[in-house]
Structure 1
Amino acid sequence: MRFQTLLTSCLLSITLVSAASLSGRQVDIETQSLDELYQLALAEGGDLIVRAGGDEKNQQDGLVQAFKTQFPGINLNLTVDLSKYHDGIIDRNLNLTGKAGVDVTHLQTLHDFVRWKQECRLLAYKPAGWEQIDDSIKDVDGAYVGINYFMFANNFATAKTTKEEAPKEFTDYLDPKWKGKIVSTYPNDDDAVLFQFFKVVQAHGWEAIQQFIAQDIQWVRGTATPIAVMSQNNSRAVTFTTGTGFSDGSSGFFQQLPEDDFSHIIIWSQRAAIFETAEHPAAAKLYVNWLLSTERQAASGGWSVRNDVPQQSGLAPLSDFAGKLDPPAFERFMLDRALVERYKLQFEQLLGTAQGLSPLDDDL
């Protein structure tokens, strides 16, 4: 009851304060170096608790190892799970104890960050390099910030097809030659994939969705699962509901963009935030500043969220895709929960409920 009273008081105070006043709140940009933040984190005790969105348990192993290598003595405890499950755990912790039970989170559920800010759950904090991050992927008051760009685009197994033959436009997937060769994540199990299919409906109508379903799709849970399926000795060769980055294909997979029709492609910036109740605030600030450092951003590939870090070699600037790739569009979709739920149920009616274990437990 006490925490509910505090939340009610917080929401009331937000209602009474004008939007102009909130956006004018002064939060200084971090001026301490990573080394200085590191020393503060060690003095604090050296622990850090992070919840990260993902659908494979080992998905963030490289990030964890890189952080621990650069900052020995910091015990980074990072848990990977589906974003839609992380937010439920965090909300229950907040409701039961008033504490999030986590220092930092970075998730796909962009609407949660807007709500958590409204509930006064997030620390107002602007990491170093704040001015280099596009306004469209950060909160004006420093409650949350985009840390990297995710993209789901055309991907194919190089052992099963070629760059020239693989589908690029959505309508290419409707060609009879791809029947029985497509794997796709359930749109009614992942909101990012749902947005891809929502955009297809807007561009091509429900008839195109029906034609796609008739292609004998292998429907799976998780956006990393299509790659695992295509790695196997089977006919499944192509997908657009995953991201592998823009590699040279040596990994066995190749990602490519369409030439004209971007209706089935999605790009967004994963948000990160420090909770007001973080028990390790110095370590949390170190972690967020490290994620946004020029060195880390340059090593991530693709497009950086920082304007002063160039895109991966061979890629055109993201600005060149204006009208085709629109990162803020996914946030707008996610904030309209009635629209999200309506389309989720429509696809559930067409496909049935998502079948199978959680992608973290399916051993694929």
Structure 2
Amino acid sequence: MRLQTLLACCFISVTLVSGSTPRGVGIETKPLDELYKDAIAEGGDLIVKAGGDEKNQRDEVIQAFRERFPKINLNLTVDLSKYHDSVIDRSFNLTGKAGADIAQLQTLQDFVRWRGEGKLLAYKPAGFDHIPDNIKDVNGFYVGTNYFLFANNFATAKLTKAEAPTEFLDYLEPRFKGKIVSTYPNDDDAALFQFFKIVQTHGWEAIFKFLNQDVQFVRGTATPIAVMLQSNNSRSVTFTSGPGFTNGSTGFFQQLPRDDFSHIVIWAQRAAIFKTAEHPAAAKLFLNFLLTKEQQVANGGFSVRDDVPPQAGLKPLSAFAGKLDPPAFERFMLNRPVVERFKLQFEQLIGTAQGISPLDDDL
């Protein structure tokens, strides 16, 4: 059964009704300098909840924003998206407010739910018309700001490009036994979706063979790279991480498959401004900043804007039609019964995720 068909037939439909769907919300026309003035006049503060599993993952964005807008006090907190959304929901329950101005998270289903609950501000930042409809809300309640791609990664000190695996079945070869490090799929939904796709393509037998490869499971999607880079560690390959395409100078290299994309996932991280935002002008400034052409280029990889070319050496995302499908992850995330059932199947096989939060593990 095709993946999309399976998700559709298992989907329990929930109708989210909001009486506040706007009409005629236009795309932002103010330049950044004017938005900056508005944010200063508002008070100059900004609270952002950003999904991630390492405290420094947004440092480059924070630095670039602060250099460009030094009078804005940006308070950006990185935590697992599934924890950020819990804190935000609890804050709504306790105070009626989100406790943040803007959220930028992996939990795509939350934005659909928050939209239906009337908790998001309809806003279309500059460049909104250059972002595909399948990674944004067409009324402006949320928008994709950057693509994450989990693909094949290998440690360049331990393997050559020719030796590294590219297809999922490569990881099942005897030479990779004891060499694989993977994020716990029952601890991260993006990794879970990768294994879900593998089952749909290759069956559970392939999963059992994979687990027999003496795989080291870790918490967090940045942790596999850190483990691979340890010189005293035999682990050298992973596909549950998305550090981006490099020239190998960082000690690792990311590459796409030749044919089999069953173990690869790509999605656009969503961002939205809450209706209860105490600093809406600063939130608008931040969202516009994220979608500038300059910041999109700085992100590397594929841009969410169709007028910004991908990183040098990469084909356009459109060239991977049928292989890289960003909306597929959203469909999976919206289907919570399937997500939770599949998560428990993996928990039964490999146990609960072990270890402290990846933000605190010093890896």
TM-score (norm 1): 0.94
1:65 & 1:311 partners in 2: Cα distance? 23
2:40 & 2:18 partners in 1: Cα distance? 40
2:86 & 2:17 partners in 1: Cα distance? 25
1:25 & 1:70 partners in 2: Cα distance? 33
1:95 & 1:240 partners in 2: Cα distance? 38
Residue 14 to residue 216, structure 1, CA distance change in 2 (3 Å): closer
Q: How does 1:94-243 map onto structure 2 within 5 Å?
A: 94-232=92-230, 233-243=232-242
Name the counterpart of 1:320: 319
Q: How does 1:243-262 map onto structure 2 within 5 Å?
A: 243-262=242-261
Note if contact 2:246-2:253 (Cα within 8 Å) is conserved in structure 1: yes
Name the counterpart of 2:81: 83
Superposition deviation, residue 14 in structure 1: 6.7
Note if contact 1:244-1:253 (Cα within 8 Å) is conserved in structure 2: no
Residue 324 to residue 14, structure 1, CA distance change in 2 (3 Å): closer
1:211 & 1:362 partners in 2: Cα distance? 29
In structure 1, which of residues 56, 71, 74 is the aligned counterpart of residue 72 of structure 2? 74
Of all paired residues, the percent bearing the same amino acid is 74
Note if contact 1:50-1:105 (Cα within 8 Å) is conserved in structure 2: yes
1:246 & 1:318 partners in 2: Cα distance? 14
Q: What stretches of structure 2 of length at least 5 have no aligned partner?
A: 1-14
Note the alpha carbon deviations across 1:140-177, whole angstroms, 9 max, x for none. Answer: 11000000000000000000001000000000000000
1:348 & 1:256 partners in 2: Cα distance? 29
Note if contact 2:142-2:270 (Cα within 8 Å) is conserved in structure 1: yes
2:23 & 2:251 partners in 1: Cα distance? 49
2:248 & 2:229 partners in 1: Cα distance? 13
Residue 140 to residue 176, structure 1, CA distance change in 2 (3 Å): same
SS in 2 for 1:240: strand
1:68 & 1:253 partners in 2: Cα distance? 29
2:270 & 2:18 partners in 1: Cα distance? 27
Name the counterpart of 1:5: none
TM-score (norm 2): 0.94
Superposition deviation, residue 299 in structure 1: 1.5
1:211 & 1:338 partners in 2: Cα distance? 26
Q: How does 1:43-54 map onto structure 2 within 5 Å?
A: 43-54=41-52
Superposition deviation, residue 278 in structure 1: 0.4
2:171 & 2:18 partners in 1: Cα distance? 52
1:15 & 1:349 partners in 2: Cα distance? 37
1:141 & 1:245 partners in 2: Cα distance? 31
1:253 & 1:351 partners in 2: Cα distance? 27
One-letter code aligned to 2:196: F
Note if contact 2:58-2:78 (Cα within 8 Å) is conserved in structure 1: yes
Name the counterpart of 1:308: 307
2:292 & 2:215 partners in 1: Cα distance? 41
- Greater CA drift, 240-249 or 269-278: 240-249
Tell me, yes or no, if structure 1 residue 285 matches structure 2 residue 284. yes
One-letter code aligned to 2:239: F
Superposition deviation, residue 58 in structure 1: 1.1
Residue 190 to residue 35, structure 1, CA distance change in 2 (3 Å): same
Residue 15 to residue 132, structure 1, CA distance change in 2 (3 Å): closer
2:216 & 2:312 partners in 1: Cα distance? 34
Note the alpha carbon deviations across 1:113-146, whole angstroms, 9 max, x for none. Answer: 0000000000000001111110000101100000
Q: What stretches of structure 1 of length at least 5 have no aligned partner?
A: 1-12
Q: How does 1:37-48 map onto structure 2 within 5 Å?
A: 37-48=35-46
Name the counterpart of 1:336: 335
SS in 1 for 2:248: coil
Residue 236 to residue 121, structure 1, CA distance change in 2 (3 Å): same
Tell me, yes or no, if structure 1 residue 346 matches structure 2 residue 339. no
Residue 352 to residue 224, structure 1, CA distance change in 2 (3 Å): same
SS in 2 for 1:270: strand
Superposition deviation, residue 16 in structure 1: 8.2
Coordinate RMSD, CA, aligned: 1.3
1:14 & 1:65 partners in 2: Cα distance? 38
Superposition deviation, residue 15 in structure 1: 4.1
1:130 & 1:353 partners in 2: Cα distance? 41
1:272 & 1:111 partners in 2: Cα distance? 12
Note if contact 2:125-2:287 (Cα within 8 Å) is conserved in structure 1: yes
2:174 & 2:288 partners in 1: Cα distance? 49
One-letter code aligned to 2:85: D
1:152 & 1:261 partners in 2: Cα distance? 14
Superposition deviation, residue 25 in structure 1: 2.2
Name the counterpart of 2:4: none
